[in-house]
Amino acid sequence: MASAVPVNAAPFNACDYLLDRHVRAGGGDRLALTGVAGDVSYARLAERVGHAARGLRGLGLQLEQR
């Protein structure tokens, strides 16, 4: 039986799909989130996500770990 996913397919990256692609396409200044604390653009959210990721890596978390 053939696999539904090609063997050489890159793993799905939710952050890239939901955030990074908007920044790459020039939409970094567009609204990504809104709430009682204020509005957050895609570019600012990408900065915050990067900061959180660096913090987790600093604690020793590696790719594919939960």
Q: What is the pLDDT of residues 4-55, one digit of tens each?
A: 666 777 888 888 999 999 999 999 999 999 999 999 999 999 999 999 999 9
Tell me how far CA of residue 49 lies from CA of 15, 53, 60, in angstroms.
Answer: 9, 6, 17
Taking the model in full, what pTM does it have? 0.75
Alpha-carbon distance of 28 to 66, in angstroms, equals 28
